[in-house]
Structure 1
Amino acid sequence: MPRKHTDLPQSMALAMSSTKNQPTLAEVRKWPATVSVPQAAAAIGCSKSHLYELIRRGDAPVKTIPLGNRHVVITADLVRLLSGEPNATRGEAAA
């Protein structure tokens, strides 16, 4: 079942926007194992600054890997989010 804005944390739902450069789920599935925060933000439909803030607070809806002074987003987790699957790291039980 596709995830609705109301199913996301309030901070993510507020940041959602229709972006003309937003990739499709099929396109995201073809991405490499990790992607940049700006690229992940475009897929989610939020600004990169908002996603960086969520990462900083530990509230990101996707798994990230810190690499020095930057982070990368794990594409498989991004696909899970966009597919509407539960995120195991947030303690959501499978339906």
Structure 2
Amino acid sequence: MATPETARGVQGLTRVELLALPAAVDLDTANRALSIGRSTGYALAKRGQYPCRVLRLGNAYRVVTAELHRLLGIDPAEAAERSELCA
């Protein structure tokens, strides 16, 4: 059964997109990776209940990509291996 956010069109990121993320991402990107709606994601971050650690930089929220990968069960070494294969 779809959650309200997925029913409204929140789409997650593919494995390739996740592996291509920079060291830290904005909250909207992390929300997409976790298939969390924007309002829900910001509310969780504000309450300190986001599924992984959120950094507050001024008015902006950032999520460390390594923590996002860990939460999603993605091996960060896989990204390094892929980049070496492409070189």
Could you tell me the TM-score, scaled by structure 2's length?
A: 0.68
C-alpha offsets along residues 32-86 of structure 1, whole Å, 9 cap, x if unaligned?
01111111101100111111111111111011111101111111111111118xx
Partner Cα separation in structure 2 for residue 15 and residue 68 of structure 1: 30
2:39 to 27, 44, 49: 49
Could you tell me the TM-score, scaled by structure 1's length?
A: 0.63
Partner Cα separation in structure 2 for residue 20 and residue 61 of structure 1: 17
Give the unaligned 5+ runs of structure 1: 1-13, 85-95
2:73 maps to what in 1?
Answer: 83
Is 1:36 aligned with 2:11? no
Partner Cα separation in structure 2 for residue 20 and residue 49 of structure 1: 11
Please say if residues 27 and 42 of structure 2, whose CA atoms lie closer than 8 Å, have aligned partners that are also in contact: yes
Partner Cα separation in structure 2 for residue 34 and residue 69 of structure 1: 16
1:58 to 42, 48, 55: 48
Please say if residues 10 and 36 of structure 2, whose CA atoms lie closer than 8 Å, have aligned partners that are also in contact: no
Instruction: Indicate the structure (1 or 2) with the bigger Cα radius of gyration.
Output: 2
Give the unaligned 5+ runs of structure 2: 75-87
- Count of aligned residue pairs for this structure pair: 72
Describe the SS at the equivalent of 1:72: strand
Is 1:17 aligned with 2:6? yes
Q: What do you get for the CA RMSD once the two structures are aligned?
A: 2.5
Please say if residues 10 and 32 of structure 2, whose CA atoms lie closer than 8 Å, have aligned partners that are also in contact: no
Quick check: which one's helix share is greater? Answer: 2
Task: Give the percent of matched residue pairs that are identical in Structure 1 and Structure 2.
Answer: 32
